[in-house]
Amino acid sequence: MTNNPFAVLTETLPPVFLQCFVITMLALIVIGTVIQMIHHKNITYFFNNAKKAKLSATRELGAGETTAIIAKTIVHDIATTSELGAGKRRVAHVLGMYGTILFWVASVVLIFCYTSSDSVTPNFWSMMWHVGAIMTCVGGYWFWLFLRVDVLAEAHPWYRIIKADLFVLTLLACATFGLAWSYTQSLNLENRWDDKVFLTLYILSNIALFGGVYWSKFAHMIYKPGAAIQKNLAEADGSRDNLPPYADAPKQFGLGIKREQPKHY
Ligand code: HEM
């Protein structure tokens, strides 16, 4: 847990090599997301829709109220992924989300601050890197093996892989191979091949995760917060995304809804 695998790696590779790799991955996120926005036209749709909804707003929001709604959305809806409701799906997502954030922040800190030959890595950052990877694995494998809609609601076997799994699987591959690489490296096995194999797999899974942004669900971490803010603003200004207002009547759905948990999407 206290091993900084990047510092050990810089005994054979110059730190600048690792830093360039991180910058390339960041560039891949930007390129993949921008091309996706242009090609899928989702941002154009999003803004046109918001403009159209504004026309049916029943009241104007002031700057203070807008800021308060955005702050509340960040703290409540985004930081806790409230749209997933209460239950396993939300717990798994929160574990994976914060795990990944920890894993990425710690990777950047370890690579940019603690890979020079005269630096000593604080245990805190090495531990954050490992804890982040473990949390990503717990949340991600739980989701992928048991909670994924195809498996839970549509009864497909867990090993059926489709294009939509690209994001979650490459994310899990990065965390799993990163941990395996750090572990085998910390065993100090002279001239053994296993840590190099896991390092290669770790590099390849990072290239697949960040290089696959255009094809994967990676950008949902940018779109989802934007959509949550827009939804809450539309709720407050009365435009409600052009949806009808809530009915002023008791909820009556018959017996059907009591017979079975809703899990068919
Ligand atoms: C570092 C940030 C995040 C990471 C690593 C992350 C990771 C993931 C993963 C791995 C999935 C499963 C994808 C799949 O269907 O194969 C997922 C789904 C989802 N994410 Fe995120 N996410 C992040 C941020 C967010 C944010 C900020 C929101 C909302 C505000 C969000 C909302 C969702 C929703 C609604 C789903 C669908 C969940 C389901 O089908 O059960 N995510 N996320």
Give the residue, out of 97, 100, 265, with the most ligand 1 atoms within 8 A of its beta carbon, to mutate for a pocket test. Answer: 97
The answer, yes or no, to whether any atom of ligand 1 lies below 6 A from the CB of 143, is: yes
Query: Does some domain include residue 190?
Result: yes
pLDDT for 264: 65
Ligand 1 centroid–CA 140 distance in Å is: 10
Return the residue whose CA atom lies nearest to atom 37 of ligand 1: 84
Give the residue, by CA position, lying nearest to ligand 1 atom 4. Answer: 97
Model confidence, pTM:
0.91
Residue 261 in domain = no
Q: Shortest CA distance to 21 belongs to which of 206, 212, 219?
A: 206
Q: What is the dihedral of CA 28, 34, 39, 43, to 10 degrees?
A: 140
Ligand 1 atom nearest to 164, measured from its CA: 16
Q: How far is the CA of 37 from the centre of ligand 1 (A)?
A: 18
> How many distinct structural domains can be found in the chain?
1
Ligand 1 lined by 224 (C-beta under 6 Å): yes
Rounded Cα gap, residues 245 and 252, in angstroms: 17
pLDDT of residue 72: 97
pLDDT at residue number 56: 86
Q: How far is the CA of 220 from the centre of ligand 1 (A)?
A: 7
With respect to residue 258, please indicate whether it lies within any of the assigned structural domains: no
pLDDT at 20: 98
Q: Are 132 and 99 in contact (CB under 8 A)?
A: yes
The residue range of the domain holding 204 is 5-237
171 lines ligand 1 (CB under 6 A): yes
For 167, residues 6+ apart whose C-beta sits below 8 A from its C-beta are: 209, 212, 216, 217, 218
Q: Which tokens sit at 95?
A: 């574990």
Atom of ligand 1 nearest to the CA of 168: 10
Res 43: pLDDT: 86
Give distance in angstroms: CA of 81 to centre of ligand 1.
Answer: 8
- The answer to whether residue 245 sits within a structural domain is no
CA distances from 64 to 54, 79, 86, 140, 229 (A): 18, 21, 30, 38, 15
Report the pLDDT value the prediction gives residue 265, as an integer from 0 to 100: 58
257 domain residue, yes or no = no
Q: Measured from the CB, is residue 78 less than 6 Å from ligand 1? A: yes
Whether ligand 1 lies within 6 angstroms of the CB of 180 is answered as no
Residue 155 CB contacts under 8 Å (≥ 6 apart), including other chains: none
Residue 192: what are its φ and ψ, rounded to 5°?
-90, 160
Mean pLDDT per 10-residue run, the chain (265 residues)? 95 95 98 95 87 86 96 97 92 98 98 93 97 98 94 89 96 98 89 89 98 96 93 90 84 74 66
90 CA → ligand 1 middle, Å: 9
Ligand 1 pocket residue status of 151, Cβ below 6 Å: no
At position 192, the amino acid (one-letter code) is R
The total number of residues shown for the chain amounts to 265
**Residue 243 within a domain:** no
CA of 97 to the centre of ligand 1 (A): 7
| Residue 262 within a domain | no
In one-letter notation, the amino acid at residue 58 is T
Determine, yes or no, domain membership for 250: no
